[in-house]
Structure 1
Amino acid sequence: MDQAKKQEFEALIAYEIEKTQKIIEDFKQISQPVAPDNAIGRVSRMDAINNKAVADAGLRQAEDKLKKLNYALSKIDSEEFGICRRCGGDIPLGRLALMPQSLFCVKCAK
């Protein structure tokens, strides 16, 4: 991969990191504990608990994505970037454009 493409991907990864950090902050706000003394009714309370569980799952996924994006950014200047960890082949540029944190090519990711 040439230097211009690497710079393009570096900017893309930085943008994705910024976007993911905002998502994480939103999920942290949503996933606040549901107070037991809150008189919202039994059904509404169960709904609030369910919504918190969904937000917690989203938070975990966003934090995992952020970790992978930071790793990809740290490897952007190495020869490992854009190379599949399993087969050693090139990861298609389209896949890297959509998922810059990808460590595997499409075939190996299955």
Structure 2
Amino acid sequence: MSENEKAAAFRPLLEKELEELRALSETGAASRAPVTLDQQSVGRLSRMDAIQAQAMAQATERRRLTRIQQVEAALKRIGDGEFGYCLSCGEEIEERRLETDPAAPLCIGCSRGES
């Protein structure tokens, strides 16, 4: 598959994923908000549950933001004409790897530390 064909095939997938990630980030903002610790309205266990849920939502958002950065970087590589090439060794990334993760910046060998 040529560089232009790869870009044409994977750009829509990356753009769709980026749009979905941003939408999820916006809708999950309320669950990451600070927990109100009003002992009159909520019991101790309920507050602990709320704090735990908040921490999990924050961790999920951190992972989501990391993925957003990866997808944006892949879209930039498409724009720069460098998509589909390993950032470490410069070799072409296998098409099967890109099908699994279009934002993959490294070939299998470099991601395993083999190069």
Same topology, TM > 0.5: yes
1:101 and 2:103 correspond: yes
1:34 and 2:35 correspond: yes
Once the two structures are TM-superposed, the CA of residue 106 in structure 1 deviates from its matched residue by 2.1
CA–CA distance in 2 between the matches of 1:76 and 1:40?
Answer: 51
Would the aligned equivalents of 1:24 and 1:59 in 2 still touch at CA under 8 Å?
yes
User: RMSD in angstroms over aligned alpha carbons?
Assistant: 1.7
Aligned equivalent of 1:19:
20
Aligned equivalent of 1:87:
89
Aligned equivalent of 2:60:
58
Would the aligned equivalents of 1:72 and 1:81 in 2 still touch at CA under 8 Å?
yes
Where in structure 2 are there 5+ consecutive unaligned residues? none
Q: TM-score, normalised to structure 2's length?
A: 0.83
Q: TM-score, normalised to structure 1's length?
A: 0.87
Give 4+ residue runs of structure 1 displaced > 2 Å after superposition: 77-80
- Which one has a bigger Cα radius of gyration? 2
CA–CA distance in 2 between the matches of 1:12 and 1:88?
Answer: 23
